[in-house]
Amino acid sequence: GQNIDQPTEMTATEGAIVQINCTYQTSGFNGLFWYQQHAGEAPTFLSYNVLDGLEEKGRFSSFLSRSKGYSYLLLKELQMKDSASYLCAVRTGAGSYQLTFGKGTKLSVIP
Amino acid sequence: NAGVTQTPKFRVLKTGQSMTLLCAQDMNHEYMYWYRQDPGMGLRLIHYSVGEGTTAKGEVPDGYNVSRLKKQNFLLGLESAAPSQTSVYFCASSYPGLAGGPSTDTQYFGPGTRLTVL
């Protein structure tokens, strides 16, 4: 089976840095995605990692360690609009339909 | 570009009723997907399609049927709705790219349909 773990909830202060972790145990690995989902809205793509290391995109960065089955999403200079759920998803095979989602981490940014 | 759109946005059904959810995309994507999202659970794949005229089962296909008669449309049908099918349904699409070519094959999601079955 596939198992993806993320913290259920996190709270951070506006202007701070927060790291959201994702660990996975899957039958295969062909890339890891992070999505952002505001309440009542669709998930939107944030980042993609397939090789080990850090991918930076503005205030957001995503890190992957395949040997450890571990990824994190780093959000810098937090803004109130960053309050959302963050979904970690692992592609477990060659097919794009082989995408398993974690349950998501609900981030609340407080003043 | 509108991206991925879904119709309707909200719907309330009685047990045993049927309905069809429509998904449309204008990005010329080959692949399309239907997911359901329930509280405390991750997105779960119901059915998917890798091209016009093709469909396949995902993780939770029971009680649903799909059709992909046109490349840009993907329909999800509930023949006899049950309360367990109360959920938020998301459609997504992606472009797999050329074989061996660079493509993340990222999935892009529609706004969702909130379905309640009484």
Chain A residues in contact with B31 by the CB 8 A cut-off are: 96-97
Residue A21: what are its φ and ψ, rounded to 5°?
-95, 150
Smallest CA–CA distance, residue A47 to chain B, in Å, is 9
What span, in angstroms and rounded, lies between the C-alpha atoms of B20 and B90? 13
Residues A20-78: pLDDT tens digits?
999 999 998 999 999 999 999 999 999 999 999 999 999 999 999 999 999 999 999 99
Nearest CA to A89 among A6, A7, A9? A6
Cα Rg for chain A, rounded, in angstroms?
Answer: 13
* A43 contacts B96? CB cut-off 8 A: no
Question: What pLDDT, on the 0 to 100 scale, is given for residue B101?
Answer: 47
The distance in angstroms from the start CA to the end CA of chain B is 36
For residue A88, which amino acid is it?
C
Residue A105: what are its φ and ψ, rounded to 5°?
-115, 120
Residues A78-107: pLDDT tens digits?
999 999 999 999 998 877 778 899 999 999
* A103 contacts B58? CB cut-off 8 A: no
* A41 contacts B106? CB cut-off 8 A: no
